[in-house]
Structure 1
Amino acid sequence: MTDFDVRPVAEDERRATFDLLGRSLHSDRISDESWARYGDSWPAAHKFGAFDGHTPIGIASAFDTEIAVPGGAVLPLGAVDGVGVRADRTRRGVLTAMMAAQLEDFAARGIPLAALHASEPTIYGRFGYGSAALGKTVWLPVPASRLHERVPVGGDVRMLTPEEAVKEIPALYRRIGLHRAGMIGRPAGWWPIAHDRIAGPHGSHVVVVHSGPDGDDGFVVYDTVDRRTLESPDEGAVLKVRELHAADPVARAALWRFLLSVDLVSGVRARYRPVDEPLALMLADHRHARTTDIEDDLWLRPVDVAAALGARTYRAADPVVLAVTDRMLPANTGHYEVSPGGARRTDAAADLALDVDTLGMLYLGQWSATELAQAGRVEVRDAAAAARADELFTTLAAPWCGTFF
């Protein structure tokens, strides 16, 4: 018998569960002023709490949105945006019970995919999540870094006021669209806490927009870090890029050109950029673009394996039969034939066998079946099948999320 209950969070339990999440992540308790300003971004809907009586001891939060998958289809997504257990109640099954309730809710509501950003990568594999997209951190020294003369030039850039940043960027993000597999929609509740808080009147970030012939088509959000010290009083500041989105190469180049032109700056640092963004090739001297880190940018969990596999496209190769095992959602366990024409359940013998978390790693195209097999994550039953799966699942562009949640 457990000494806690897992159930949906009630309206009057929102702040208590938000404070619990903050404490579990070692953040300060939210002030009354901040809660009044941003509390509506923490609705009770789609949150499961673990309770000892009326006292919350755990929280698993999510919001409904959508995600782009290879081929351009956009699917419903359960975005898991906050998971925590009170420090004195960890390792007692609280997390497992909440994650199970959350997954069952996703499945009952017909949501085919779930995603999260993992605070600790060893936690979420056992719940069926796999590292599905990577992001790189790049460092560009200034003024040494400059774009070469053949990089596209066009349009104008303008700096927004905080009020304009709050008003204009949500529509611009929608206009740019989910053009890369792994990108997710940003519902209305996402913006106040994730964007307005840092870029609005009470924030410190700067927002710059690019406009082309058809209007606004790109933006960058960044903060400035002062590096001056008593020993180095003339050290330039660093621009920390939080996000940069553009509809085309011209807009992207213009935003990078702007960042590299800001005065009294010693460098630009951008985290979670697409791993295939050709930033080094855009420079006159490609050696100045230094990748300092590569991290997981998105973890993905197939909730309805048949629906998820059937929604994306595949390249030309002979079919492969996957044996998928899902211990938390047993209805997914079975064999699936994947071919250029799509995917379907089958009774045919499996060519490759894998757990559902590994399917999440394979799904967006970040990892190949051959890599996963060599790492012991895929059991190869037909020696030629991994190469066929590589061709079927590969994508021209690397997956990328580009949204914090």
Structure 2
Amino acid sequence: MPPDFEIRPVTPDEVEAFTRAPLAAFGETFDPERFKLEWTHHELDRTLAAFDDGEIVGTGRLYSLELTLPGAVLEPVAAVSWISVLPTHRRRGILTAIMGRELDDAVERGESMAVLHASEGLIYRRFGYGIAAGSIAFTVPRRHSAFLRPPPEGGRVRLVDDETARKVFPDIFERARRHQPGAVSRVDEWWGNELFYVEKKEEGTRFFATYESADRTLDGYVVYKIVARWTDDGLGRSRLDVLDLVTVTPEARAVLWRYLCDVDLVETIAAGSCPVDEPLRWMLAESRRFTVNRLSDGLWVRVLDAPAALSARRYATAGQIVFGVDDEFRPDGDAAGRFALEGGPDGAQCERTNVDPDLALGVADLGAAYLGGVTFSTLARAGLVEERTPGALARADAMFRADPAPFVMTEF
């Protein structure tokens, strides 16, 4: 623990100060209405604050969530959020202390992994986190959005109001996230605080739509907003921003994308966060009009218990691999050492071993490859994985392959 700083969970009467501290660190404004929504789901015992003479100068918070693994396995994880240190207290060991305490908490609760979104790409690798699931932002001009093939017929898209959306969207999301590697669960309060909360300064008008299949099952939804723009001579040049697109079936995704690309008076369709293997690109007749504006590091994974984490997921092909894992931040933890993995589509088993490793790597790179978002061969070409047994890279790549590509779906 840094000298002179007390680090502990906050009490109910300290919650507002705990909320204001990270806002100050990120240069944001306190919103009383959003504050009430945020703290309907407390888990105060999973908060951490650093105090300097009674003032909160650093924060961290954990959410108890589920992470979808390849093979449609749901694994409890510690979701790290609200990490901040006031600019007056930087470089004094507060961040390291909070990160260490949070990982200790996750281990004590039996969570095999921690996950997070990173505000800065340089911070979290030293704590053992690796980029496991990316996302893309892209635009498509409406006038160049023709499909190669028409979407399936029989279903229908319906605009719904806020009240209906609140009722039906969570169930659609639950069905979808169970088959999307890298997705995390959403607590009930997330919907009101994130998806349905509109800041006063937000530009544009939000709309909600559902997709019903031919048998009238709700298999998808989309939240989007239209930022209205008009030329001086009265021509519509609006932008349609896709905020949350969730689908259970390929048919639902194709139909909803066609709907979004057909909204009148829109010049550009823009999506801020979609999977790196988003199929819309391949639906378009003119695919080069699908312009990727940003590739982001969506979800970072930190393995805490290697035998438990590697045993939990399913593998694309049957095989055996021995990993030698280095964990500088927790050298005595359950992610450091040699681990023998035997797994396949029906299950896996992993345990400590004294056998020489086939692959040697750091715990951050094990986290990066864990969901199948990057191959071990790619990491080896980057100088991050050492192949000690010929053919081990190809074998591990085949085992860890994931389809679809991992995608987190939710910010937390």
Greater CA drift, 324-333 or 356-365: 324-333
**Does residue 1:224 correspond to 2:229, yes or no?**
no
Residue 181 of structure 2: aligned partner: 181
When residues 148 and 380 of structure 1 are mapped into structure 2, their CA distance, relative to the original with a 3 A threshold, is: closer
Residue 404 of structure 1: aligned partner: 411
**Does residue 1:373 correspond to 2:374, yes or no?**
no
Greater CA drift, 343-352 or 90-99: 343-352
**Does residue 1:339 correspond to 2:342, yes or no?**
yes
Separation in 2, partners of 1:37, 1:169:
18
Amino acid at match of 1:215: T
Separation in 1, partners of 2:339, 2:61:
31
Amino acid at match of 2:53: G
**Does residue 1:134 correspond to 2:134, yes or no?**
yes
SS in 2 for 1:2: coil
Separation in 2, partners of 1:127, 1:233:
54
8 Å contact from structure 2 (residues 277, 404) kept in 1? yes
Shift of 1:317: 5.5
Separation in 2, partners of 1:328, 1:130:
13
Aligned equivalent of 2:402, options 390, 395, 399: 395
When residues 349 and 216 of structure 1 are mapped into structure 2, their CA distance, relative to the original with a 3 A threshold, is: same
Residue 237 of structure 1: aligned partner: 238
Separation in 2, partners of 1:45, 1:233:
56
Greater CA drift, 312-321 or 155-164: 312-321
Residue 308 of structure 2: aligned partner: 307
Greater CA drift, 324-333 or 179-188: 324-333
SS in 2 for 1:205: strand
8 Å contact from structure 2 (residues 113, 302) kept in 1? yes
Q: Which runs of 5+ in 2 are unaligned?
A: none
The 5 Å alignment of 1:108-123 reads 108-123=108-123
Shift of 1:53: 2.9
Count of equivalent residues: 402
Shift of 1:156: 1.1
Residue 371 of structure 2: aligned partner: 364
SS in 2 for 1:143: helix
Measured against aligned partners, the alpha-carbon deviations of 1:149-190 in whole angstroms (never above 9, x if no partner) come to 343233111112122223332222123342111011111132
Residue 169 of structure 1: aligned partner: 169
SS in 2 for 1:197: coil
Shift of 1:199: 9.9
- TM-score (norm: length of structure 2): 0.92
Separation in 1, partners of 2:301, 2:275:
17
Shift of 1:214: 4.3
Greater CA drift, 385-394 or 94-103: 385-394
Q: Which runs of 5+ in 1 are unaligned?
A: none
Shift of 1:60: 0.6
Amino acid at match of 2:61: S
Percent of residue pairs bearing the same amino acid type:
36
Measured against aligned partners, the alpha-carbon deviations of 1:297-323 in whole angstroms (never above 9, x if no partner) come to 111111221110001122336522101
Amino acid at match of 2:50: A
- TM-score (norm: length of structure 1): 0.93
Measured against aligned partners, the alpha-carbon deviations of 1:323-379 in whole angstroms (never above 9, x if no partner) come to 112233322211111233522221111121111111100100111111111111112
Shift of 1:268: 0.5
Measured against aligned partners, the alpha-carbon deviations of 1:270-304 in whole angstroms (never above 9, x if no partner) come to 12211112212212322322222211111111122
Shift of 1:254: 1.4
Residue 73 of structure 2: aligned partner: 73
Shift of 1:115: 0.9
Amino acid at match of 1:78: A
Amino acid at match of 1:303: L
8 Å contact from structure 1 (residues 227, 235) kept in 2? yes
Residue 196 of structure 2: aligned partner: 196
Separation in 1, partners of 2:149, 2:390:
48
Separation in 2, partners of 1:387, 1:139:
35
SS in 1 for 2:95: helix
Separation in 2, partners of 1:205, 1:42:
28
Separation in 2, partners of 1:214, 1:45:
43
Shift of 1:147: 2.4
When residues 81 and 204 of structure 1 are mapped into structure 2, their CA distance, relative to the original with a 3 A threshold, is: farther
When residues 82 and 38 of structure 1 are mapped into structure 2, their CA distance, relative to the original with a 3 A threshold, is: closer
Residue 356 of structure 2: aligned partner: 349
8 Å contact from structure 2 (residues 304, 333) kept in 1? no
Amino acid at match of 2:218: D
Amino acid at match of 2:298: D
8 Å contact from structure 2 (residues 34, 193) kept in 1? no
When residues 152 and 340 of structure 1 are mapped into structure 2, their CA distance, relative to the original with a 3 A threshold, is: same
SS in 2 for 1:392: helix
Separation in 1, partners of 2:151, 2:34:
43
When residues 204 and 111 of structure 1 are mapped into structure 2, their CA distance, relative to the original with a 3 A threshold, is: farther
User: What is the aligned-residue RMSD (CA, Å)?
Assistant: 2.2
Amino acid at match of 1:128: G
8 Å contact from structure 1 (residues 180, 397) kept in 2? yes
Greater CA drift, 356-365 or 220-229: 220-229
Greater CA drift, 291-300 or 333-342: 333-342
8 Å contact from structure 1 (residues 154, 254) kept in 2? no
Separation in 1, partners of 2:224, 2:208:
7
Measured against aligned partners, the alpha-carbon deviations of 1:185-221 in whole angstroms (never above 9, x if no partner) come to 1111322211221399x99422111111142110011
SS in 2 for 1:179: coil
